[in-house]
Amino acid sequence: MARVSQQHLDARRRQILDAAARCFARNGFHATSMQDVLREADLSAGAVYRYFSSKEELIGAIVTEVLDTVREAFEEAASQSPPDPPDVLVGQVMGRVLRGEFSLGTAAGVQAPRLLVQVWTETLRNESLAALLRTGYDTVRAAWVKVVEAYQAAGLMRDDVPAEHVARTMIATAQGFAAQQALFGEVPVEVLQNGLRGLMSMGGQKPG
């Protein structure tokens, strides 16, 4: 029997994840069954269960990909000296996420914001997924803190505000923009960038 290449195995796993993401974004986690994923992927049960033993494993894999994409983007930004300003940086990262550059996006027919909101909702009832998301959030927050510290070190941002507080606010801004996309329809990422630019224009004077 011919040996299956790693490239083939990776492509098949990608096919399953993309199909699951489309189902989850369209119908939600609870309304999606493994049979729905099988039909969407056009694969047999054996082919799918070779890679993922349950819907929960599929969800976990998708969450991991999204978080890894965001973390990697901000770790790359933190390595610059100094990083791009917040309006550019947050816009670039959100653009990557909303375009689905974690491989679960427009090319696969997935509405990334809807998928993100589904993930957040599921963590309220699924403790194992909540633990995974908390771990991922910690790594993402650490990457954003490095970016803020680089701004402060370069004199681009006031240093009397804890870097972690700024990082959490930047994360909240990105999450809120994704939620708006899911709830109210698609908006160009330039809207987020312009809004941040407007807020940044208020100046950095310390209160008297």
Residues in the chain: 208
Q: Looking at this protein, which amino acid is placed at residue 174?
A: A
Given this model, what pLDDT does residue 16 score?
93
The rounded distance, in Å, linking the Cα atoms of 14 and 19 is: 9
Residues of the chain with pLDDT under 70: 1-3, 100-110, 203-208
Question: What CA–CA distance (Å, rounded) separates 47 from 193?
Answer: 43
- Where do runs of H (alpha helix) occur along 42-162? 45-49, 55-78, 86-98, 112-122, 127-153
pLDDT the model gives residue 195: 94
Quickly tell me which residue has 């939600």 as its tokens: 28
CB atoms within 10 A of CB 60: 17
Q: What is the pLDDT of residues 156-172, one digit of tens each?
A: 899 999 999 999 998 89
Q: pTM, whole model, 2 decimals?
A: 0.77
Phi, psi of 102 (to 5 degrees): -95, 20
Nearest-5° Cα angle at 112, 107 to 116: 150
Whole-number pLDDT of residue 108: 47
Going 25 to 28 to 31 to 33, the CA torsion angle's sign is positive
pLDDT of amino acid 115: 81
| CA separation for the pair 190, 187 (Å, rounded) | 8
Cα–chain center distance at 37? 21
Report cis status (omega within 30 of 0) of the bond before 82: yes
